[in-house]
Structure 1
């Protein structure tokens, strides 16, 4: 049996749209562990697929291989990443920056664009793209 979507796919065409899309994924101030969400989009920024990865109390490993495999299967043009910092500081850590740069390098091989990496902490949200880190 085939399933058909009733609602149109979300459009993640910029930081504000992505922030609104991911905000409900994080329980502001109540998440006890880091959690990473990855949204795969087509060339028109329509969301194709969303995947969630659970991390540890204060860290999460960026699953580069899984993201690339999913992107290849889905034919993704880009991905938007979002994860939380339960400690309350939405500033990207050195590990966040290094892992995102690694994903960018690997994604170039399949023409996948890393559109943004958002970090949520309580009611705050930081965009690595807006900070010039992508």
Structure 2
């Protein structure tokens, strides 16, 4: 796991902005390895904290507890998740949907919301929010 501080004025206020930001994050990564990036936002969609979790060719762990702890530490109002599918198919899997719903339920107690979960594959990007899965 690697943490990095998000420098202002990074503001993820909309799907197209989030897609562009995360696409840039994945552009320098090994496309054969799955990686999860978690952005914690304040109530004005400014990024407070980023964490990255490296996986392998078959997937990456979904560190639910770590994400919830980070949300509490940083006082997150929202969370945007992004990960890549090395398979080349940006369709969310059942495990993607289940993990996202579990996180949404867990951070709700902190007055935090999962804003979106984006899945990247090749040049495609899928938004769970746009699909009505969040």
1:107 aligns with 2:82: no
Structure 1: stretches of 5+ with no match in the other structure: none
TM-score (norm 1): 0.90
2:126 and 2:92 map into 1 onto residues whose CA distance is 8
2:22 and 2:39 map into 1 onto residues whose CA distance is 9
1:74 and 1:108 map into 2 onto residues whose CA distance is 15
> Which structure has the greater CA radius of gyration?
1
1:96 and 1:44 map into 2 onto residues whose CA distance is 26
1:111 and 1:60 map into 2 onto residues whose CA distance is 27
1:45 aligns with 2:45: yes
Aligned residue for 2:25, secondary structure, equals: coil
2:70 and 2:29 map into 1 onto residues whose CA distance is 30
TM-score (norm 2): 0.90
**Do 2:8 and 2:47's aligned partners in 1 also have CA atoms closer than 8 Å?**
no
1:28 and 1:125 map into 2 onto residues whose CA distance is 16
**Do 1:41 and 1:79's aligned partners in 2 also have CA atoms closer than 8 Å?**
yes
2:80 and 2:120 map into 1 onto residues whose CA distance is 13
1:29 and 1:12 map into 2 onto residues whose CA distance is 21
RMSD of the alignment, in Å?
1.7
Structure 1 runs, 4 residues or longer, greater than 4 Å off: none
Which residue of the partner structure matches residue 132 of structure 1?
132
Question: How many angstroms does 1:74 deviate by?
Answer: 0.6
Report how many aligned residue pairs link the two structures. Answer: 129
